[in-house]
Structure 1
Amino acid sequence: MDDKLFKRIKQLTEIQSTSGNEDNIRQLLTKEMTPLVDKVEYDGLGGIFGTKKSSVEDAPRIMLAAHMDEVGFMVSQIKKNGLFSVVPLGGWNPYVVSAQRFTLQTKQGDYPIISSSVPPHLLRGKSGGASLKVTDILFDAGFVSKEEAESFGVRPGDTIVPDVETIVTANGKRIISKAWDNRYGCTLLLDVLEQLKEVELPNTLIAGANVQEEVGLRGAKVSTTKFKPDLFFAIDCSPANDLDGKEDANGRLDGGFLLRIFDPGMIMLPRMREYIVQTAEDHDIPYQTFISQGGTDAGAAHLANNGVPSAVIGVPGRYIHTHQTMFSIKDYEAAREMILKLVTSLDKATVDTIIYGK
């Protein structure tokens, strides 16, 4: 891993932008993408995509889509004592939320805030957190009253985002950060667009990031309607399940990129799967097939318009949807190589074969 790549990962993962309040990450993506594409456009919800036009007549339209939002919270109520009730933005395990540091984002500025916890001394003789829900956890910015919180500009609807520094592990092979789901996709898209800047493609490439994926794949619904791709590739992070060390674990760090063949929202079409697998094997790109209990933007995209054949090129991350995710740079590099091979090979004949079988 070179310094440039780590600096990009650090910058993108430390940015704080949760679902519905993606301005911070969108501003950076706009700045970085603009010199790399022919045109940058937004959809009505705030997704950003750059188009790299092909000079080939009747070139197919290939869409690469990350999502820019990370999991967080929204203030639902300001209590009389100055603490806040929240609703989750994205899926959270309630047992990892307490006693963590966050940032409260308001119209008047950002403030430090922590999630509450109950000391063990006060739980003796009680059931403890046996039935804990995320909405039971209060957030504390140090305000002494509702009126004081409001005087600092706090209002229901303000967002709360994890505050975490991105670091490299001692062996230099893995990274610990928040929001790899899905700043992985944002990082990869910028890397790929840089490498393709002077490359003539056999397709028109539409590459960018959706909003509000973590709250129901909302951004993908509008972006696929706007840009009308022939094929769609979600670039997203999925949960690793390799803690027990089993070699056949569903999602292993250092096992290569994830080829998601099934989740509750999408079954990958056979010809799409076969083409990706053949391409990976032809170029010795390590991959692992993956079955997930959760969905990605591909679940929304493949049902858009008249139906868009879709796939997910992912990477595994341990402990996603928390403050601390661990991931392997090897898996990232495999995913990047896979996307480069796909984008440079998907001409009209190949796309027609994937869609129509001829």
Structure 2
Amino acid sequence: MLRSIMLFCVLATPLTTLHAQTNDATVDMLKKLSDAPGPPGAEEPVRAIMYPVMKQNSSSIKFDGLGSVIAQQGSAGPRIMVDAHMDELGGMVRRVTPNGFLTMQMLGGWLDQALVDQRWIILGSKGPVHGVTGIRDIHVVPADERTRVYPRDSLMLDIGAKNAAEAAAMGIEPGDPVVPDAPFMVLNGTDNYLGKAWDDRIGCAVLLAAMQRTKGTNVGNQIFYVATTQEEIGLRGARTAAQLVKPDIGIAIEGGIVGDTPGSRPEETQAKLGGGPGIFLYDSSALANRKLVAQVKKVAAERKIPLQYDLVQGYGDDSAEMQVSNGGVPTINIVVPVRYTHAHNGIVNRKDFDQTVDFVVALLQSLTQSTVNDLRDFTPSN
């Protein structure tokens, strides 16, 4: 399986060169990260992008037992863990039917209505295989079924095979990873970028850019930049990585959720694309540390960086695992706004990305020993 996933990087080149390289290194990095396949447990192609940059900009680098990458800057002082997860929503082949169709086990929080009539790539042992989750023809669907959502268990991947033997000849077998087929593009000459997996490849890109800027600028702390695995199926890589890092402060960098699209309700989310980086004051998995929130607001105000605040139901992120590690850790979840998360095609804004990098760098530079001591001091004031 590992060989087949690495082979994807070579065999899938035509897919990732549909849009030529630009003169903008940031766009090229975002394109590479977005296009790379990496469902939970099969993050190898993403790790192959992350590892060289993380190694070049750290004093030491290692892995946890689930494949998360842990890169360290600095050797003394408080331990700051900066986290972004490499995996994306995807699936895996469950069964090959006698007539050559595939059933799929979904990985992560998919909506059933996002799965129908979509293109997918299966990472088979002989390289990538293209497929589509078909849809019944309107000419034969009864009128009372035309507005129904197709349940995921009724969907099958069509790879063009006539039977199970043809599917096997393509290198397909149960357990093969499956990812959305949704190539990156700059959206119609704007500063908005369309692609898959912004949750959390946009966070991975922020992590790489931030660590390039903090290299050699130590303020007396130790920064552990961590690219984690298997977030989408239970924050698993963050748990094992935090066990190794033992952080004093935890910072998750994620793709946020916006409420600026038609049909959005104000109480769902308040963030807007192009409105700057955000922080989660609440989500279903973690509560941000109030003193750390105050520090975040202070840094943003000093640097004149706009900051969006959000409280979101039905959302979990790696800060939850950092928060309950090492006896309890002040944490915050910093997000880059994303339209249409947990689907094939999402949109991010370049200004949001740039401002998030500026913000993360400034926050890390503010976390001196005395500041961290204060953040971790719960002594009641007189």
Q: Which TM bucket (shorter chain)?
A: over 0.9
Aligned mate of 2:358, from 316, 337, 345: 337
SS in 2 for 1:206: strand
Aligned mate of 2:54, from 33, 37, 40: 33
Which amino acid in 1 is paired with 2:283?
D
Matched, 1:151 2:169: yes
- Quote the residue 1:71 is aligned against: 89
Segment drifting more, 199-208 vs 81-90: 199-208
Which amino acid in 2 is paired with 1:241?
G
Deviation at 1:192, TM superposition (A): 1.1
Maintained 8 Å contact 2:247/2:322? no
Matched, 1:314 2:335: yes
Deviation at 1:42, TM superposition (A): 0.5
- Aligned pair in 2 of structure 1 residues 286, 2: CA closer, same or farther (>3 Å)? farther
Deviation at 1:126, TM superposition (A): 3.7
Matched, 1:251 2:271: yes
Deviation at 1:99, TM superposition (A): 1.6
- Quote the residue 1:236 is aligned against: 254
SS in 1 for 2:256: strand
Which amino acid in 2 is paired with 1:267?
L
Q: Supply the distance in 1 between the matched residues of 2:376 and 2:352 (Cα, whole angstroms).
A: 28
Deviation at 1:77, TM superposition (A): 1.1
SS in 2 for 1:114: strand
Q: Supply the distance in 1 between the matched residues of 2:183 and 2:149 (Cα, whole angstroms).
A: 31
Matched, 1:203 2:224: no
- Quote the residue 1:328 is aligned against: 349
Which amino acid in 1 is paired with 2:110?
W
1:284-295 alignment runs, 5 A limit = 284-293=304-313, 294-295=315-316
Aligned mate of 1:23, from 10, 34, 44: 44
Q: Supply the distance in 1 between the matched residues of 2:221 and 2:263 (Cα, whole angstroms).
A: 41
- Aligned pair in 2 of structure 1 residues 245, 93: CA closer, same or farther (>3 Å)? closer
- Quote the residue 1:281 is aligned against: 301
Which amino acid in 1 is paired with 2:119?
R
Structure 2 length-normalised TM: 0.89
Show CA shifts across 1:161-215 (max 9, x none).
Answer: 1122211123422111111111011111111111122323321110021101011
- Quote the residue 1:177 is aligned against: 195
Which amino acid in 2 is paired with 1:272?
L
Maintained 8 Å contact 2:86/2:228? yes
Maintained 8 Å contact 1:40/1:48? yes
- Quote the residue 2:10 is aligned against: none
- Aligned pair in 2 of structure 1 residues 284, 168: CA closer, same or farther (>3 Å)? same
Maintained 8 Å contact 2:89/2:197? yes
Q: Supply the distance in 2 between the matched residues of 1:246 and 1:17 (Cα, whole angstroms).
A: 29
Which amino acid in 2 is paired with 1:283?
R
Deviation at 1:90, TM superposition (A): 0.9
Q: Supply the distance in 2 between the matched residues of 1:160 and 1:24 (Cα, whole angstroms).
A: 13
% same residue: 29
Show CA shifts across 1:95-123 (max 9, x none).
Answer: 12122221110222211111111121121
- Aligned pair in 2 of structure 1 residues 109, 246: CA closer, same or farther (>3 Å)? closer
Which amino acid in 1 is paired with 2:178?
I
Deviation at 1:129, TM superposition (A): 5.5
RMSD: 1.9
Which amino acid in 2 is paired with 1:81?
N
Deviation at 1:130, TM superposition (A): 1.9
- Quote the residue 1:304 is aligned against: 325
Matched, 1:272 2:292: yes
SS in 2 for 1:219: helix
Show CA shifts across 1:298-325 (max 9, x none).
Answer: 1122112311111111011111111110
Gaps of 5+ in 2: 1-21
Q: Supply the distance in 2 between the matched residues of 1:263 and 1:152 (Cα, whole angstroms).
A: 43
Maintained 8 Å contact 1:287/1:334? no
Q: Supply the distance in 2 between the matched residues of 1:32 and 1:149 (Cα, whole angstroms).
A: 37
Q: Supply the distance in 2 between the matched residues of 1:253 and 1:109 (Cα, whole angstroms).
A: 36
Structure 1 length-normalised TM: 0.95
SS in 2 for 1:149: helix
Gaps of 5+ in 1: none
SS in 2 for 1:121: coil
Maintained 8 Å contact 1:186/1:208? no
- Aligned pair in 2 of structure 1 residues 127, 80: CA closer, same or farther (>3 Å)? same
- Quote the residue 1:88 is aligned against: 106
Show CA shifts across 1:313-344 (max 9, x none).
Answer: 10111111111101111211221111100111
Deviation at 1:28, TM superposition (A): 1.5
Maintained 8 Å contact 2:113/2:149? no
Matched, 1:97 2:127: no
Q: Supply the distance in 2 between the matched residues of 1:120 and 1:24 (Cα, whole angstroms).
A: 39
